Amino acid sequence: MAKPKNRGYLFFLPVALFVLQGCLTTISSVRQARELFKVGDYDQAREVLSRAAAENPKNAEIKTLLFRAQLNSYQTHLFLARAKRKSGDRPAAVVEYRKALAIFPGNTQLQKEFADYVTPATAVKEEKFKPTVVPPVQLNVKKDEKVSLSLRNTPISNIFKSLGKSYNVNFIFDKDFRDFLYSIEIENTTFFEILKVLCMVSGSKYRVLDPATVIVFPDIFAKKKAFDLRGIKAFYLSNIKAEDARKMIQTVFRDEQLLIQEDVNLNVLVIRADYNSLVDIERFLTKIDKEKSEVELNIEILEINRSLINKLGADFGSGVFGVAAGGLDSDGKISSTINFNDLNSANFFLTIPSVAMNFLEGNSNNKILAKPNLRGIDGEEITFMVGDEVPVPETQFQAIAAGGINSSPVTTYRYRNVGVEIKITPFIHQNNEVTLKTKLTINFISSGASSSFPTFGKREIENKIRLKEGETNIIGGLLRDDVRGSLNGIPALARIPLLGKLFGNSEKNISQTDLIFSITPKIIRRTPISSQDNEVIWGGDDLPSATGGAIIPEEGGSEAEEETAPENQQPANDMVSISPSQASIPINSDTLFSLRIHSDTQLASLSLSGALSGGNCEIVEVKTDSLNEKEVKILKNISGNSFDMGLSFTTNSVQTLAAAFIQLKIKFMSKGKYILNIGDINAYDNKRNKVEIAGASCPIDVY
């Protein structure tokens, strides 16, 4: 029977040794990782813990330490990447970015930051101001057609007519138009430029009657009132109040003959003016009707209360000393009658109340922490209150009957805030700084009881501070000390040093309050200011369509349409870019090159190929981690120093390509000059129309 037992022990012995070895390995890995944490080598700690986690996938301690190592390593590499980027060390910054992405490859925000750094996005072109005010009648004049006039001692009316013949425009004149002789020499000038000069010389204005007729009249108030074309337009405002906009317009355009009416409910301005004034007002409103900046204030209010109560001595309660004297009567009670002859037989009784010796010391600490996040608009006050409302009695005397004397007291209660009140008005600047007008008020009850009127205390700080975004300002040291003491006991005896505690009770109450206030601003939205907002609005007849005239470009187009490419012409930024655009790298090193596809067209499919020429090299890997498999299907093939790739898009390809990039991992085995070419690009939109996308090349010097 002993033999099988020994065999059982021999069977379980290897298993026990294996389990023991695993435990020792886990303990060794954890100990080694903690030592690496102390020296800041998070990358090595991550490798050690990764191996330990693979061997012990259910160990919670190893998982926690591994996540800490990954997070610390990620933050270290990201900090180094941004520091290298700031110092201008581009290769080192790229290496650190890639190390950070290798830890958390699914971090889309970091992918976008890295992609924008490797291949900076093209600056967004600002849209030019396009007035919506269109006159009802427009001249059919070719805007690019220029003429030359050379006339001497010619009536000014004939000069107008000569200009009209060149553009097939008929000029008619008011009966009060003053004609005179004038000489003019102009070369290669457009219609409206010449018309403007003639009107300035003759002291007149014009109005377009139909696409081929213009009337010219003297520039006097009566004629302008009769001939000027005036329109009514409603300007719906999104941000600024209609009342404020009306005041500004009336001040800025007070020389114009404007009629303005506001509607507070719709926040709209209704303006009646001529064409040029309406265009200027519309341009002016686009500059001032901007959304206000917003800021988020992270506030921490820490109130620390410390109270200390000392109570020491004899508490005699509410009893008094009592004396009873006399003899015993037949019932066994003390007789209150004392016979001085019987003093020897009299009994005396002294009554003392119960004595409680209290030795009490109390100490309490309270911390009230308020941590609000307040969001406010530029220039608007933010109010925050933490505390209570305390009723304060107010007594007034009134007459019992009409005409009587005010002798009847009437008590009412008014509630008053007690606590911490904060009022902040932020002013946001364009240089990422915030000015805060702060008012910090502390209201507290300094004395008083339920049967008497309370006395309120107040501490207040009001100042202005200017902080950078993310900078923290701290206000502390607002201390308040309340000390109260009392002594109860037998008169005179209670005040005897040391022994007085036997005949009385002393109490001391100390209360101390400290308040710490910190504030950190974070700008959420800034008022958008473009370069056009800084441009000057020039008044007068600078526009080419004075008093109702407007240019109609050739073939019925408009100025805005001229800048738009035809439908069958692809945008100029449909291309492939390689980052870096040129490189100098050491031999036998794995180098990453990023490809980005730029296209404003909604693509359905895209195929491309790339090849390296110039020496002994190999394309090791084509990484497409930044492409979402739900948005695009990927096919790729690598063959030595060349590769092929096909992309099929299931969603919006414009957004997908803008946020994605392809990485080529290439190894160079010999020195020399190489060229990476990306070509054979075939792209089609959703209608199966071919889209032309330009290729790219990158020179590489291997040393």
Phi-psi region of 489 (alpha: psi -120 to 50; beta: other; left: phi over 0): left
What is the DSSP-derived secondary structure letter of residue 352?
Answer: -
- Cα 329 to Cα 97, 116, 324, 344: the distances in Å are 109, 113, 14, 16
Distance, in Å, from the CA atom of 27 to the CA atom of 62, rounded to the nearest integer, reads 10
Token couple for 456: 């309120």
Token couple for 697: 């090349």
Cα dihedral 24→27→29→30 (10° resolution): 180
CB 131 within 8 A of CB 543: no
Best CA proximity match to 286, nearest among 123, 124, 132: 132
CB 294 within 8 A of CB 525: yes
Burial per residue of 123-140, b for 16 or more beta-carbon CB atoms within 10 angstroms, e otherwise? eeeeeeeeeebebeebbe
Chain mean position to CA 111 = 21
Q: Cα dihedral sign for 86, 89, 94, 96?
A: negative
Helix (H, G, I), strand (E, B) or coil at 702: strand
Give residue 417's identity as a one-letter amino acid code: N
Helix (H, G, I), strand (E, B) or coil at 3: helix
Show the CA angle centred on residue 298, arms to residues 293 and 302, nearest 5°: 150
Strand partners, 347: 326
Other C-beta atoms closer than 10 Å to the C-beta of 549 total 23
Helix (H, G, I), strand (E, B) or coil at 503: coil
Strand partners, 322: 351
Distance, in Å, from the CA atom of 36 to the CA atom of 44, rounded to the nearest integer, reads 7
CB 475 within 8 A of CB 462: no
Model confidence pLDDT, tens digit, residues 141-172: 877 788 888 888 889 999 999 888 888 899 99
490-497 contact pairs (CB < 8 A, 24+): 490/316, 494/313
What is the DSSP-derived secondary structure letter of residue 139?
Answer: B
Burial of 442 (0-12, 13-18, 19+ CB in 10 A): buried
Strand partners, 308: 363, 510
Q: What is the pLDDT of residue 553?
A: 38
CB 520 within 8 A of CB 465: no
Token couple for 607: 């195929």
Best CA proximity match to 94, nearest among 69, 109, 113: 113
Burial per residue of 575-586, b for 16 or more beta-carbon CB atoms within 10 angstroms, e otherwise? bbbbbbeebebe
Token couple for 597: 């596809």
Helix (H, G, I), strand (E, B) or coil at 478: coil
CB 600 within 8 A of CB 574: yes
Helix (H, G, I), strand (E, B) or coil at 454: coil
Chain mean position to CA 110 = 19
Distance, in Å, from the CA atom of 151 to the CA atom of 159, rounded to the nearest integer, reads 8
CB 212 within 8 A of CB 206: no
DSSP result, 247-311: HHHHHHTTTS--EEEEETTTTEEEEEEEHHHHHHHHHHHHHH--PPPEEEEEEEEEEEEEEEEEE
Q: SS in 3 state form for 592-641? A: EEEEEEECCCCEEEEEEEEEEECCCEEEEEEECCCCCCCCEEEEEEEECC
Q: What is the pLDDT of residue 359?
A: 42
Enumerate residue ranges in the chain where pLDDT < 50: 1-3, 5, 8-13, 15-20, 318-324, 349-364, 366, 449-450, 542-572
Give residue 349's identity as a one-letter amino acid code: F
β-pair type (473-475, 590-598): unpaired
Model confidence pLDDT, tens digit, residues 136-145: 888 888 777 8
Find the helix or strand (DSSP H, E) in which 347 lies.
strand 347-351
Q: Find out whether the peptide bond into 580 is cis, omega within 30 degrees of 0.
A: yes
